Amino acid sequence: MSVTLPSAAVRLVPAASLHVSKPTWWLESRFHFSFADYWDPERMHFGALRVMNDDLVKPRAGFGRHPHRHAEIFSYILQGNLSHADSMGSSEALPRGCVQYMSAGRGVTHSEMNDHDETCRFIQVWLTPDTTAPGYGEPKYGSTRYTKADRHNQLLHMLSGTGPSPAWHSVNGGMAPIRLHQDGNVFVSESDAGAAYELQLAARRQAYILCMEGSMRVNSDQLQARDAAKLKGADDSATLLKLSTAEGAHFMVIEMAKSDDQ
């Protein structure tokens, strides 16, 4: 006998509500949460998700060497190339659809530059680390290169964490190659018009969904490019999460342990 699951409650984060920062000639950022000189007590974090910045970096410019500590940081490139170099000796440039990851641990310095002649757009995400997770402390760097085929009309599991991975039938590749020091999972998809996904959000789990390009529907709510949605599951049962892309979309899903914040 099949059981009909309730739909997860959706709270929209419209692109127009994001803080737009233009601190210098080469950078335009959209902040989903309080960051740098922007502070909003209603937008401090969503569970372990502390930072989500949508950055546009002009050619031959970027973030020079600067420090980080106690943050799980990854960048997903949407346009151009992003060059990374750090105090651990890591150095590489990655194009669209690839992901860079750095666990800052007790301290690291790095730079993120656009060394090319095309504007670079990337989504940078910080998660608060679980400092008790095995192996936490020393900084680490990693990256994975993907092609469009890896994420085309399916969910690509890019990063996993210390907790369970959702058993979603539309996930490509099984266990993610990059492991976070936090209970979270990160998926992306570049889906054609007409794609649809029915996912179960397990009890005591939540998700943050970003429509990076195109448009999509999350349950009954419509998202345009740069819109986001917060979803919280029930405490005692799974809830249903329906995603559809009537006109095509490139989107990210961050699934994590449920928190008491909004």
Q: What pLDDT score does 172 carry?
A: 78
What is the spatial distance between Cα 76 and Cα 84, in angstroms, rounded to a whole number? 12
Flag whether pLDDT at 15 surpasses 60. Answer: yes
What is the spatial distance between Cα 171 and Cα 158, in angstroms, rounded to a whole number? 10
Please give the average per-residue pLDDT across 93-100, as a whole number: 98
Flag whether pLDDT at 262 surpasses 70. Answer: no
Confidence of residue 173 (pLDDT cuts 50, 70, 90): low
Is 1 inside a domain boundary?
no
What is the spatial distance between Cα 164 and Cα 153, in angstroms, rounded to a whole number? 23
Neighbours of 83 (CB within 10 A): 17
CATH number for the domain spanning 121: value is 2.60.120.10
Is 4 inside a domain boundary?
no
Residue 154 domain boundaries? 9-257
Question: Domain tally for the chain?
Answer: 1
If you count DSSP H runs as helices and E runs as strands, how many of each does the chain have, helices first?
1, 22
What is the spatial distance between Cα 246 and Cα 240, in angstroms, rounded to a whole number? 19
- 81: left (phi > 0), else alpha (psi -120 to 50), else beta? beta
Is 80 inside a domain boundary?
yes
Sequence-distant (6+) residues with CB within 8 A of 74 are 99, 100, 101, 102, 124, 125, 158, 159, 178, 186
pLDDT digits (tens, 9 = 90+) for 174-193: 679 999 999 999 999 999 99
What is the spatial distance between Cα 74 and Cα 210, in angstroms, rounded to a whole number? 15
Is 3 inside a domain boundary?
no
Residue 239 token pair: 């809830």
pLDDT digits (tens, 9 = 90+) for 114-142: 999 999 999 999 999 999 999 999 999 99
Q: What pLDDT score does 174 carry?
A: 66
Residue 248: φ, ψ to 5°: 95, 145
Count Cβ atoms within 10 A of the Cβ of residue 235 and give its class: 0-12 exposed, 13-18 middle, 19 or more buried. Answer: exposed
Is 22 inside a domain boundary?
yes
Confidence of residue 1 (pLDDT cuts 50, 70, 90): very low
Is 154 inside a domain boundary?
yes
Flag whether pLDDT at 97 surpasses 50. Answer: yes
Is 2 inside a domain boundary?
no
Is 85 inside a domain boundary?
yes
Please give the average per-residue pLDDT across 224-232, as a whole number: 98
Region of poorest pLDDT, from 8-12, 52-56, 124-128, 218-222: 8-12
pLDDT digits (tens, 9 = 90+) for 46-64: 999 999 999 999 999 999 9
